[in-house]
Amino acid sequence: MRRREFLGQASRLALTAALAPPSTIFSSLSLFSSRLASSPGSSVSSDLDLIIKNATVINGLAEPAFLGDIGIKDEKIVFIRHLEPKKGFPGEAPRPKVSPEGSSRERQNSVIQADAVNAKRIIEADGRVVCPGFIDIHSHTGVELLVNRQAESKIRQGVTTELGGNCGSSDFPLKEVLTAEESRYFDRLGVRERWTDLASFSRALQEKKFSLNYATLVGHGTVRAYVMGEAKREPSEAELAEMKKIVAQAMEQGAFGLSTGLEYTPSGFAEREELVELSRVVAGYGGFYATHIRSEDNEVIEALGEAISIAAEARLPLEVSHLKACGQRNWWKMPYLFDLIEKARERGVEVTADAYPYTAYSTGLTVFFPFWAFASGQEEFLRKLQSAEERQKMKAETEAKLGGMPWENVLIVDLRTEKNQGLIGKNIAEAARERGLEAFEFACQLLLEEKADVSIVGFGMSEANTVATLRQPYVMVASDGSALAPYGPLHRGRPHPRNYGTFPRFLGYYVRNQKILSLPEAVRKITSLPASKLGLKDRGVIKEGYFADLVIFDPEKITDKATYTDPEQYPEGIDYVIVNGQVVIEHGQHTGVFPGKFLYGPGRRASR
């Protein structure tokens, strides 16, 4: 078969090979390499750090896949060579079977290519998919990176960038003297580092070094507690001015935006006007507003409307956190939520959302209890729980908050006391029967015994709504989880399986098996779409000059292993995870390198 000449022109390289078997193509590459090495002005160095060969490349833009090679040097992608179009994926069309090791002829040609370009390392992808590293736009990772810098449960999913500080809670600002609760938390995790603002927090992380890239929002609840404590009232002019100052400082130090957790205290004590004022500050720095809206069940339509109105008035983009309608009585509302978002987008409000590929959420048991019970803080809430009269006042509102979801659907996953550890893995109704109590009364008693620290998983969403949400073009896939590990201080209870399996589950169960999206469309949702929301101009796409954050996986085998009963299991089918050009995960093993970077938002970038 005739070879085509590979032409290198200007600072970018556009290469196309004749359609031919891999052995024919690779036997021609030594000629290309020698010309490439001597070509004046070529953007590709002859001394590469890494070449990924014969890969099925999905670039992150929902464009058709193609067979190609990728060259990496000094953290960046320096060339992409197109070999031929790639047609079909598992579940779409048959694909040729390729030996994992490749033929001896192919291996020989790999050596020829490596010698020709002086690559330090070659990965023979053998038809496996290579795509941009996954960007988790809604995570709760933060201080965990100081505990376990491997970021085990996330990096092994293919996550190369995390956005923390969601749901109104960030790891800053902190006062120089920690509260008793903060001190207990840090002691339990073994964290000795101290910081007060985002600048000092970022320094602490960078001194430690970690596996993946990290970015953060500033949490409204954290800021409000810093200024006002747990007060359930409007801020004074001075207090609002102080909150605005703290948010501005966080944006200047690199936060990507403001998050709220309006189903939680103290964030939920804020009225709309307060959130608009703080969002205007964020808008001035080019950030966005991410919100766990005020209700995700009985008043979810009204809550989403409020969030859209805040973003519209403050003139900044909106990210709706874990979009869903909880409780069977609310499932019918999902199409109306889509309609609200689509109409807002038509009006020019930049609304996007994220969702996780599960029908169960995870939070604290207190989320079901009425807001008025928390008006004076946690200690006052516990005092109210001790009163039979106060409990009776809470009961109707609490069970209404469940939205028709029975107590059997509320699974206990973590507790603080040793005596109650046997309850982990049981649902509230089951545990209540064992103690001879009615479910609500048992929930109150358990909260008292655990000082209100009870983690639960709630099976509150429908499968049909989950699929419909994941299909929406403006919805990204995110974990709503943290970087955990099945050992050390981060090994505790039975965490939601999303901490270990979100992205492989999406690509394996929903995309390959259920065929809800094409693979290129699915990859866009976890790469270029979140990168665009964050304003990252050099990540989330396989493109020359972009950072080499990459995942190499087998589309036939990628799958989550984490379950609700056994969640601390790493996924299968991911061969390599590459961060900033360095291989961090190789065939299920962490390589011991920590190339992650702290990423800074538009406010800091603009001020430098």
The yes-or-no verdict on residue 109 having pLDDT over 50 is no
Which of the four pLDDT bands, split at 50, 70 and 90, describes residue 127?
confident
Helix H or strand E encompassing 410:
strand 410-415
* CA gap 360, 560 in Å, rounded: 16
* Among the listed residues 215, 285, 276, 214, the one whose alpha carbon sits nearest the alpha carbon of residue 243: 276
- Provide the H-helix boundaries in 12-150: 22-27, 29-38, 104-117, 144-147
Which of the 8 DSSP states describes residue 271? Answer: -
Nearest one of 168, 137, 167 to 154, comparing CA atoms: 137
pLDDT reading at 322 higher than 80: yes
Please provide residue 135's backbone torsions phi and psi, each rounded to the nearest 5 degrees. -110, 115
Residue 92 has pLDDT above 70, yes or no: no
> Which residue's structure tokens are 């954050």?
549
Residue 152 has pLDDT above 80, yes or no: yes
Query: For residue 29, which of 71, 90, 85, 88 has the smallest C-alpha distance?
Result: 71
- Say whether pLDDT at 299 is over 80: yes
Q: What values do phi and psi take at 521, rounded to 5?
A: -65, -40
Record the tokens describing residue 470, joined without a space: 């994941």
- Helix residue ranges, H only, 54-149: 104-117, 144-147
The angle formed by the CA atoms of residues 348, 354 and 360, to the nearest 5 degrees, is 145
Rg (CA), the chain: 25
Range with the poorest average pLDDT among 95-99, 252-256, 357-361, 386-390: 95-99
Alpha helices in 324-462 (DSSP H): 334-346, 378-385, 388-401, 428-435, 439-449
293, pLDDT greater than 90 = yes
- Given a cut of 80, whether residue 426 has pLDDT beyond it is yes
Tokens of 514: 């259920």
pTM of the model: 0.88
Asked if 598 and 163 touch (Cβ cutoff 8 Å), the reply is no
> 319 by DSSP, 3-state: which?
strand
CA pair distance 172, 279, nearest whole angstrom = 18
In degrees to the nearest 10, what's the CA dihedral of 411, 414, 418, 419? -20
pLDDT 10s digits, 541-591: 999 999 999 999 999 999 999 999 999 999 999 999 999 999 999 999 999
Instruction: Give 451's DSSP letter.
Output: T
Which whole number is the average pLDDT over 449-467?
96
Whether the CA torsion 402, 405, 408, 412 is positive or negative: it is negative
Write down the H helix ranges in 54-103. Answer: none
Rounded CA separation 324/15 (Å): 44
Residue 363 and residue 458 in contact, taking contact as beta carbons nearer than 8 Å: yes
* Angle at 62 (CA atoms; ends 42, 585), nearest 5 degrees: 70
Greater pLDDT, 27 or 328? 328
Integer Cα distance of 565 and 282 in angstroms = 41
Say what the pLDDT of residue 110 is.
Answer: 38
Question: Which residues have a Cβ under 8 Å from the Cβ of 12 and sit 6 or more positions away?
Answer: 43, 544
What's the number of CA atoms in the CB half-sphere (13 Å) around residue 224? 28
Whole-angstrom Cα distance, residue 91 to residue 114? 34
- Of all residues in the chain, the percent with pLDDT exceeding 70 is 86
376-409 confidence digits (pLDDT tens): 788 899 999 999 999 999 999 999 988 888 999 9
**CA–CA gap between residue 161 and residue 163 (Å, rounded):** 7
> What pLDDT is stored for residue 239 in this prediction?
98
Structure confidence at residue 604 as a pLDDT band (50, 70, 90): confident
Q: Which residues contact 542 (CB under 8 A, 6 or more apart)?
A: 57, 58, 59, 60, 70, 77, 80, 130, 131, 132, 550
547/264 Cα distance (integer angstroms): 37
More confident residue, 98 or 333: 333
Average pLDDT of every residue of the chain: 88
The pLDDT tens digits of the residues spanning 176-222 come to 999 888 898 999 999 999 999 999 999 999 999 999 999 999 999 99
Q: Is pLDDT of 335 > 90?
A: yes
pLDDT at residue 179, rounded to an integer: 86
- In the predicted model, is pLDDT for residue 101 greater than 70? no
Query: What is the predicted pLDDT for the residue at 605?
Result: 60
Tokens encoding 159: 């996550």
Question: Which runs of E-coded beta strand occur in 98-212?
Answer: 122-124, 129-132, 134-136, 159-164
CA 63 to mean position of chain CA atoms: 23
pLDDT in tens, 485-532: 999 999 999 999 999 999 999 999 999 999 999 999 999 999 999 999
Dihedral Cα 340, 469, 476, 92, nearest 10 deg? -140
Helices (H) and strands (E) in the chain, counts: 21, 22
